Amino acid sequence: MLSRPCSSVATILFVVAQIIVTVVSVPDGDKISSLPGQPPVKFQQYAGYITVDDKQQRALFYYFVEAEVDPASKPLVLWLNGGPGCSSLGAGAFVENGPFKPTENGLIKNGYSWNKEANMLYLESPAGVGFSYSDNKSFYGFINDEITAKDNLVFLQRWFDKFPQYKSNEFLITGESYGGHYVPQLAQLILQTKTPFNLKGVAIGNPLLEFNTDFNSRGEYFWSHGLVSDATYNSLTTACNYSQIRRQAQSGTLTPVCAGVSKQISSEIGKYVDTYDVTADVCLSTINQQSLFLSQLQETQKIDVCEEDETNKYLNRKDVQQALHAKLVGLSTWTICSEVVRYDMQNLEIPTIPILGTLVESGLRVLVYSGDQDSVIPLIGSRALVNALAKEIKYNTTVPYRTWFQGKQVAGWTQVYGDVLSFATIRGAAHEAPFSQPERSLVLFKAFLEGKPLPEFSSS
Question: Residues 6 or more apart from 331 whose CB is under 8 A from it?
Answer: 339, 340
User: Which residue among the candidates 87, 181, 274, 431 is catalytic per the annotation?
Assistant: 431
- Note the Cα 317 to chain centre separation in Å: 24
CB 175, CB 205: distance < 8 Å: yes
Does the active-site annotation cover 225? no
CA atoms within 13 A on the CB side of 299: 40
Question: Smallest Cα–Cα separation from 152: which of 55, 66, 60, 63?
Answer: 60
Does the active-site annotation cover 177? yes
CA separation for the pair 268, 216 (Å, rounded): 18
Question: Residues 6 or more apart from 1 whose CB is under 8 A from it?
Answer: none
Question: Smallest Cα–Cα separation from 144: which of 190, 181, 90, 92?
Answer: 181
User: Which residue among the candidates 217, 309, 374, 375 is catalytic per the annotation?
Assistant: 374
Does the active-site annotation cover 431? yes
Pairing state between β 397-406 and 199-205: unpaired
User: Which residue among the candidates 177, 243, 262, 422 is catalytic per the annotation?
Assistant: 177
DSSP 356-399: HHHHHHTT-EEEEEEETT-SSS-HHHHHHHHHHHHHHTTPPEEE
Pairing state between β 397-406 and 171-176: unpaired
CA separation for the pair 167, 157 (Å, rounded): 10
Please list the helix, strand and coil fractions of the chain in percent, rounded to the nearest 5, in that order. 40, 20, 40
Q: How many CB atoms within 10 Å of residue 189?
A: 17
Question: Smallest Cα–Cα separation from 31: which of 163, 197, 166?
Answer: 163
CA separation for the pair 315, 333 (Å, rounded): 9
CA separation for the pair 58, 48 (Å, rounded): 13
Residue-wise burial string across 262-281, b where 16 or more C-beta atoms lie within 10 A, e elsewhere: bebbeeebeeebbbbbbebe
Pairing state between β 100-103 and 106-109: antiparallel
Type and span of the H or E element at 402: strand 397-406
Q: Which amino acid is at 91?
A: A
Task: Supply the residues annotated as catalytic.
Answer: 177, 374, 431
